Structure 1
Amino acid sequence: MNAAAPALVVVSGMSGSGKSVALNTLEDLGYYCVDNLPAVLLPEFVRHVLAGAEAPGKVAVGIDVRSLGDLSDVPAVLSQVGALGVDPRLVFLDTRSDVLLRRYADTRRRHPLSHLGLVLADAIALERQALRPLRQIADVVLDTSDLNVHQLRRQVLTEFGLAGAGLSLLFESFAYRRGVPPEADFVFDARVLPNPHWDARLRPLSGRDAQVREFLDAQPEVAAYATQVQGLLDAWLPRLGADTRSYVTVAFGCTGGRHRSVYLAERLAAYFRAHGWPEVAVHHRELD
């Protein structure tokens, strides 16, 4: 692929499978995202992006049953995009029909094909048939049947945010009352630190808010804690990078997963980005 061309991810799949979550997560990872683009416009869209003076380095496009045009033309459209020097990656989100029926019942949202006068089960079956050409040529198929929103977001983070060369880092926050993330390589307990929850002004906020950061920045024990964790990771992450693994998850936990753990995950992520780590992502399990 041309070095000046953006990375292009085409997100498709069944309605209710989590495509919006996937696109929102890609946007958080720095992708320029466009949803519900008619497939026939994709080559022109890519030409426009490439022609821009400040072309984005990463682009994601949502194409699904809502998009105008014949979805069976998508393989030919992707070939046209390839001729422009871009190697598109098609990601298809799939979900079992029984799970989709339950999700629609829970959310009471209308299926995109409901305007045809079909009952929900028939609309899902027709959509699955229309999307079959895309699923068959997909580079990645994600089955989201047994994933909640947080699990899907994390899978997208590890699939697209941590795919660079060398060791990539994921800093994650969590609440101990909901369990320790089983995928964590390092786990640090932030419950020993001053808790912003007990300040009525800070309670409704999170560790991403300036007021909470200012409160925790002013605590000497928080600074000492962060510095010691940084020192440990500085010493041992390069050794892990020499191993065969591609990414490491560093998890911070506190009581509610909103203040101290979020603050530390953001602070450590910023520290390692500033110190030359090219692939650093953040996931807040209780917030995202």
Structure 2
Amino acid sequence: MALTIEIHSFSYKKGGIPKDNSGNGGGFAFDCRGILNPGRVEEYKTQTGCDTGVQDYLETKTEMPDFLELVKSIVSINIDNYIGRDFDHLQINFGCTGGQHRSVYAAEKTAEFIRKKYPQTTITLNHDEQPQLNHEYK
């Protein structure tokens, strides 16, 4: 049985931590609000964490790279364990104030990392406040 990893970006203001509908309950919830918000910079207000300007800002002007390295270490422990035990579902959530910049970026970068390190998994990426960005890796 293959492991499906469901990754969400979400807004703490609008909906809170997404419910895990798999029946397993829980998973990870990472709070990105401690990272400087590019949404407070005029030129990035209408952009998302998938836009180059926002990504450059997060990578060069914030602690996001260090934050994500720690996230990768933590989630890898569970992914290794879940694959070894034939578990079929893991949910990873990233929240920020509006669900537009920091959480979207963190979810995308974490999905890319998992796709490269664990190609045998299926990853669904759900941007709860930015559904036009949703996609899946198989």
Q: TM-score scaled by structure 2?
A: 0.83
Residue of structure 2 in register with 1:245 after alignment: 87
Partners of 1:254 and 1:275 in 2: CA distance: 26
Cα RMSD (Å): 1.4
Alignment of 1:260-275 (within 5 A): 260-275=102-117
Letter in 2 for 1:286: E
Residue of structure 1 in register with 2:32 after alignment: 190
- Could you tell me which of 52, 56, 75 is aligned with 1:233? 75
Contact persistence 1:168–1:277 (CA under 8 A): no
Residue of structure 1 in register with 2:129 after alignment: 286
Contact persistence 2:3–2:86 (CA under 8 A): no
- Alignment of 1:176 with 2:12, yes or no, is yes
Residue of structure 1 in register with 2:134 after alignment: none
Residue of structure 2 in register with 1:199 after alignment: 41
* Residue-pair matches, total: 124
After TM superposition, which residue ranges in structure 1, 4 or more long, deviate above 6 angstroms?
none
- Larger Rg computed on CA atoms: 1
Q: Structure 1 277/168 Cα, relative in aligned 2: closer, same or farther at 3 Å?
A: farther
Deviations, residues 143-181 of structure 1 (Å, cap 9, x unaligned): xxxxxxxxxxxxxxxxxxxxxx42121211000112211
Local SS of the residue matching 2:81: helix
- Measured after TM superposition, the shift of residue 210 of structure 1 is 1.1
RCO higher in 1 or 2 (8 Å CA, sep ≥ 6)? 2
Q: TM-score scaled by structure 1?
A: 0.41
Local SS of the residue matching 1:218: helix
Contact persistence 2:8–2:92 (CA under 8 A): yes
- Measured after TM superposition, the shift of residue 286 of structure 1 is 0.5
- Measured after TM superposition, the shift of residue 215 of structure 1 is 0.8
Residue of structure 2 in register with 1:57 after alignment: none
Partners of 2:49 and 2:62 in 1: CA distance: 17
- Measured after TM superposition, the shift of residue 244 of structure 1 is 5.2
Contact persistence 1:174–1:285 (CA under 8 A): yes
Partners of 2:77 and 2:126 in 1: CA distance: 23
- Alignment of 1:214 with 2:74, yes or no, is no
Give identity over the alignment, percent: 28
Alignment of 1:29-40 (within 5 A): none
Q: Structure 1 236/223 Cα, relative in aligned 2: closer, same or farther at 3 Å?
A: same
Letter in 2 for 1:201: E
Letter in 1 for 2:3: L
Letter in 2 for 1:273: R
Greater helix share, structure number: 1
Gaps of 5+ in 1: 1-164
Contact persistence 2:39–2:101 (CA under 8 A): yes
